[in-house]
Structures are given as structure tokens and as C-alpha cells.
Amino acid sequence: MTTVDPEISAQPRPPRRKAAGDPVKALLHRHRELCERAVDPLEIAAGLEAHGITDRTAARFRHRDVFSLAEELYARSPHEAVTTAAPTLVPAGPAAFRGFGYALLPGALACAAAAAGQAWAGAAAVAAVAATLVWPGRAAGGRFPYVAHLLAAAVAGWAVYRHGTALAVGLALAVVPGHLAAVAFAAGARARLDGSRALEDFADRARPLLPAAVALFTGAATAAAALAGASLPVAVPLALLLFLTRLLLRHGAHRAPVCAGLVLALVPVPAAALTAAAGLLVHAVLALARASAHARP
């Protein structure tokens, strides 16, 4: 019979180094919901990017980049069988038709009120345009989630008060092309996200989408302003400012730069709206080239 020295058995055993052996386990636990609901590794990579994890951070988890880390997290997470349809340029279905119907309402309401000579035509158009900014919003968390929407309504209302009902009608008519351009931009970015193999690859492929959407909308907003008889130097920058506000809020961008641009547009000088739109465009180029801006909510 073998005896055990009590002094030896009383000595504490050295702790196991689980964290050093499996550095990804803690990250997997921290982002379990993201990893389990993702339909592909890039979905996880986009979520990790949104949480501030970069390629340099991924190196601490023994991976060369965020996408490689996301592939391991995806492989180690349970997933339900998900069937995804091929991305289309303009999504179809009841929700898409409903959204298009909502976008038609501001222009129809403004034109009808203006044609009837109603004094409240401008105010009604401003309210309808502001409502279309709230409807597609994704950035609803945090304190004071609707400050940007209220500021957008104030910008449009202040401009209509200074320049007349024709401006309100022009802005309302621009809602439909703005809706279509925003939907096409989101669908195109989503298609590129699904087809990319790295975050940098997605950024390179997605950057041309925003200038194309802005150019398309600017042309449509110019036509809408001309049709309504509004001043083009006033109507077009203001419409572009509201369009960029919609895009940024819809894709979860930080509200602070958006609010700053809208506050700038309230300054009663002719170039205020144009300067604000230019500033938001620069911010949008940076913010909307990130994969996390296009991940499924």
C-alpha cells in the first residue's frame, strides 16, 4: 500500500492558465449574442469593428486580422439554419412597398395643400419631411435619441419660414428620390459586405457607392426644386443635408456630428446649409465605409 506524505498533499496546486491557453474564449463569451445570430463570419467582423476591435487588437488573440478572428468565433458558435435570399438592388415585398408609400406622402400632401392655396401648406410639408427622417432611423439608443430629428425639423422649418412654401414643396418632392437612393445605397453596401473577404476589401468596394448615391439624389433634388419653383441655391444644399442626415441616422452613425451639422445650418447666412452639407458628406464618407454601418440590425 502506497502512503502519501501529508506535507506534499497539503501543498496548493498551481492554478491552471485557462486564459493563456484559450484567449478567444473570453471574447466569445462577451460577444455570444453577436456570434450566435451572425449568418457569416463577416457579420461578426462588422460587429467587432463596431465595438472598437481592430487588427492590432486581433493580434492579442493570436490572429492576423479581425476577419480571421471572426472566422474562429463563427466556427465555435452554435447557429440555427438560416436561409438568405440573394441581395437585390431594390428590395421587394410588403415592407418595401409600404416604405415607398410613406415616401410618397410628403410630396402628395405638400402639392395638394399648395394647389389649394392653404396657408398651412409649408408647415405640413415640413412636418411630413421630418417624419420621413424618423421612420427609417436605426440610431435610437442613448440619451435624447430624437435630438437630430428635432433639429432637422427646425432646419427645414426655419428655411421654409424664410424662403416660402415653394421650398417646402421642393423638399417634400425630393423625399421619394431620397428614399430610393437610400434603399439602393443600403442594398449595394449589403451586397458588397456579403461578398467581401476582409474589412479593408469591403471599404474599398463600398466607398464609390456614397458619391454615386449623392450624385443621383442631387440631380433629383434639383429637378424637384425646379418643378416646385424654389430657389436652387437654397433648396438643393438643404435637401442634400437632410438626405445625408437620413443616411447617417439609418446606418447607426454617432449623432453628435449630425447634430453639429444641423445646428450649423440654422445660422442665418446663405452658405450655412451648403457648409453643413459638405461637412456631413465628409463625415459620411468615413462613417459609411465601415462594415459595422451595414451589418444586419
Mean pLDDT of 204-227: 94
Q: Are 170 and 230 in contact (CB under 8 A)?
A: yes
Between 36 and 20, the more confident residue is: 36
pTM for the model: 0.74
Burial class (CB in 10 A: 0-12, 13-18, 19+), 100: middle
Mean pLDDT of 158-169: 90
- How far is the C-alpha of 138 from the C-alpha of 191, rounded, in Å? 19
Angle, helices 165-173/209-228, rounded to nearest 10 degrees: 140
**Among 87-96, 146-155, 210-219, the least confident range:** 87-96
Mean pLDDT of 241-262: 90
**Among 88-92, 105-109, 147-151, 217-221, the least confident range:** 88-92
The predicted structure's pLDDT at residue 125: 81
Nearest to 108 by CA among 128, 132, 131: 128
Q: Residue 264: is its pLDDT beyond 90?
A: yes
Q: Would you state the cell numbers that stand for residue 74, as one nine-digit string?
A: 463563427
Mean pLDDT of 37-49: 79
- How far is the C-alpha of 27 from the C-alpha of 61, rounded, in Å? 9
Between 69 and 264, the more confident residue is: 264
Q: Residue 175: is its pLDDT beyond 60?
A: yes
The predicted structure's pLDDT at residue 122: 80
The predicted structure's pLDDT at residue 145: 63
Phi and psi at residue 289, to the nearest 5°: -90, 0
- Alpha-helical (H) ranges within the chain are 6-10, 18-21, 23-30, 32-37, 41-50, 55-59, 66-75, 94-115, 121-134, 147-163, 165-173, 175-195, 199-206, 209-228, 232-250, 255-265, 272-287
